[in-house]
Amino acid sequence: MRLFSLLLVLAGAASAASATAADALRVGEIAAQPGQQASGYIVVPDGADPGTRIPVSVFNGATPGPVLALIAGTHGSEYTSIVALQRVRARLDPARLKGAVILVHMANPTTFYGRRIYFSPDGKNLNRVYPGQAEGTLSQRIAHAITTQVIVPATHVVDMHCGDGNESLRPYSYWQVTGDPALDAAGKRLALAFGLDHIVIDRERPVDPSRTLYTSNTAVRRGKPAITVESGGMGLTDEPSVRAQEAGAFSVMAELGMLDAPSVKVDKPLFVDRSLVVTSPATGVWHPAVEKMQSVATGTLLGRVSDPFGNLLHEVRAPFAGEVLYVVGTPPVSEGEPLAFVGHVTDVEPK
């Protein structure tokens, strides 16, 4: 009896110790002890096609708290997030951090070094194959690795994008509305904290956790608040676009009580309550007729698709009145690919 009691006391002491001193945080092949940071790689092994190594930094705070994952470079030519996370890494101090931050510096190195847009060499869009497959092609294996090694240990996720190498984009974030009041409120809190004043309401993402398609949806369908943010585009690294990503990341950490940092929280958000990606009816040469942030009426000419000789194939028009959130700014276009993203903007928060 006495021995049994002693064992219970020892077990209690052990669990109390682990509750007060957080454990090492392991991601891929790296581990960071409490109060420490580490950088290294998540190795995506070779499979049907060559694998890759995803560069990751882990900042494990001295005290427990939220685990925020910041994911950059899902699309290889979306550079602003990749540059911003280098700055975030240089400024973060794990000794002054509550909780932990996982930085995925470049989710898709193969597309980055190959200067690709939209698609990996396997022809797949990484942000359409989540939660991924361990035995799939490269995009699916990357998605599987990020799901299991980054999204699962995280409590909050920010997926950082901009217009791809061909997209001229105004800054905005996506707030996913699921119908779960607590989760939706937590997602909105992240979107406001990140500081981009246009917030696209997204109600269309798949519900099935085994077929989430998108990075942020993979977190949301596992009960974790997550947003997707967009700042920059056209393959540029202009200072305002990079700074918005960097400032937004720190503002989210401040909002979650992880550290002291300046808040860029949106005071008066504008909501995009209706939006549509206008896709190309044909493969050809795109001649845009509008610019990002331009207001359009129903039927406003967005641009023309010609054949290679210059003969008009299609005039492409706005489906409803709104603002151009992005427009493809370079000539190549294939049938079914995006040409423009039009959104109806309101200052009335949707129900």
Contact residues for Zn ion, defined by CB under 5 A: 75, 78, 161
Residue 104: in which H helix or E strand, if any? Answer: strand 98-104
DSSP structure string for 239-265: HHHHHHHHHHHHHHHHHTTSS------
Report the DSSP pairing between strands 98-104 and 63-72. parallel
Nearer to Zn ion, 59 or 172 (CB): 172
Residues 6+ apart with CB under 8 A from 81: 72, 73, 160, 161, 162, 232, 245
Q: How far is the CB of 316 from Zn ion (least distance, A)?
A: 22
Q: Check: CB of residue 206 under 8 Å from CB of residue 181.
A: no
Q: Check: CB of residue 278 under 8 Å from CB of residue 325.
A: no
Burial class (CB in 10 A: 0-12, 13-18, 19+), 137: middle
CA distance 245 to 350: 26
Nearer to Zn ion, 161 or 292 (CB): 161
Question: What DSSP designation does 3 have?
Answer: H
Q: Check: CB of residue 256 under 8 Å from CB of residue 66.
A: yes
Q: How far is the CB of 347 from Zn ion (least distance, A)?
A: 27
CB atoms within 10 A of CB 78: 28
Nearer to Zn ion, 118 or 271 (CB): 118
Nearer to Zn ion, 37 or 110 (CB): 110
Three-class SS state of 270: strand
Q: How far is the CB of 141 from Zn ion (least distance, A)?
A: 19
Nearer to Zn ion, 78 or 273 (CB): 78
Q: How far is the CB of 161 from Zn ion (least distance, A)?
A: 3
Q: How far is the CB of 73 from Zn ion (least distance, A)?
A: 9
Q: How far is the CB of 61 from Zn ion (least distance, A)?
A: 29
Question: What DSSP designation does 281 have?
Answer: S
Nearer to Zn ion, 105 or 161 (CB): 161
Nearer to Zn ion, 59 or 175 (CB): 175
Token pair for 78: 């979306």
Q: How far is the CB of 27 from Zn ion (least distance, A)?
A: 22
Q: Check: CB of residue 229 under 8 Å from CB of residue 249.
A: no
